[in-house]
Amino acid sequence: MRGIWAVAKNTIKQALRMKIAVVFIILLFVLLPVLGITTTGDDTLKGRLQTFISYGLSLTSLLLCLLTIFVSVYTVTSDIKYRQIYTVITKPIRRFQLLLGKLLGVMILDIVLLVLFSALIYTFAVYMPKIFKATDEELVQVNNEFYTARAALNIPEVDVTGEVKERYEKLERLKRLPDLPREEIIAELTKQAQLEKRAADVGGVLIWEFDNVKPLTESMFIKFKYDVAVNPPDMQVYGRWYAGDPQYVKYGQQPPTPFYDNILKHSIQTFHEIEFPADVVPENGHLAIAFMNVSLNRTSITFPPDGLAILYKADTFTANFIRAVFLILFRLVFLACLGVLASTFVSMPVAILLCLVLFSTATISGFVIESFDSLSANMSMFYSYTIKWIIRLLPQFDKFNPTKFLVQARLLSWSVLAQCVVFMVFIKSSILLLLAFFIFSYREIAKIIV
Partner 1 sequence: MEYAIETFSLTKIFSDWWGRTKVYAVDDLNLQVRQNEVFGLLGPNGSGKTTTMKMLLGLLHPTKGKALILGGDGANPKINSRIGFLPEESYLYKYLNARETLDFYGRLFGLPAKLRKMRIEALLDMVGLKAVANRSVGTYSKGMARRIGLAQALINDPELLILDEPTTGLDPIGTRQIKDLILKLAQRGKTVLLCSHLLADVEDVCDRIAILYGGKIQTQGRVRELLQQSHKIQITTDAISDSTLSKIEQLIKDEKAEYEVTSPMDKLETFFINTVAQAQRLAQPTSGAVSTTKIGGFLVQDVPLENILDKLVSSPVSKETSQEAPTTEKVPVDEDSGTEPDKQLLTELTGTAETSQSESDAGEEKTRTEPVESEQVPQETQDQVKKDILDRLTGRPGSQNDKNRQTD
Q: What string marks each residue from 17 to 56 as x (binds partner 1 by CB under 8 A) or -?
A: xx--------------------------------------
Q: Binders of partner 1 among 385-444, rule CB under 8 A?
A: 444
Range 397-402, long-range pairs (CB < 8 A, 24+ positions)? 397/331, 397/359, 397/362, 397/363, 397/365, 398/362, 398/363, 398/364, 398/365, 398/366, 398/367, 399/365, 399/366, 400/327, 400/330, 400/331, 400/424, 401/327, 402/57, 402/61, 402/324, 402/325, 402/327, 402/328
What is the nearest approach in angstroms of partner 1 to the Cβ of residue 438?
A: 15
What is the nearest approach in angstroms of partner 1 to the Cβ of residue 71?
A: 14
Nearer to partner 1, 98 or 114 (CB): 98
Q: What angle do CA 435, 438, 444 make, to 5 degrees?
A: 125
What is the nearest approach in angstroms of partner 1 to the Cβ of residue 74?
A: 12
Report the C-alpha gap between 326 and 424 in whole angstroms. 12
Q: Which of 13, 250, 265, 392 binds partner 1 (CB under 8 A)?
A: 13
Nearer to partner 1, 91 or 175 (CB): 91
Where does residue 364 rank: exposed (0-12), middle (13-18), buried (19+ CB within 10 A)?
Answer: middle
Residues in the chain: 450
Report the C-alpha gap between 358 and 355 in whole angstroms. 5
Q: What string marks each residue from 308 to 347 as x (binds partner 1 by CB under 8 A) or -?
A: ----------------------------------------
Nearer to partner 1, 85 or 186 (CB): 85
Report the C-alpha gap between 390 and 420 in whole angstroms. 18
Nearer to partner 1, 6 or 274 (CB): 6
Q: What string marks each residue from 71 to 110 as x (binds partner 1 by CB under 8 A) or -?
A: -----------xxxxxxxxxxxxx----------------
Q: Which of 3, 41, 47, 307 binds partner 1 (CB under 8 A)?
A: 3
The answer to whether the CB of 294 falls within 8 A of the CB of 240 is yes
What is the nearest approach in angstroms of partner 1 to the Cβ of residue 349?
A: 20
Quickly list DSSP for 51-65. HHHHHHHHHHHHHHH
What is the nearest approach in angstroms of partner 1 to the Cβ of residue 440?
A: 12
Q: What are the residues binding partner 1 (CB under 8 A)?
A: 2-3, 5-7, 9-10, 13-14, 17-18, 82-94, 444-446, 448-450
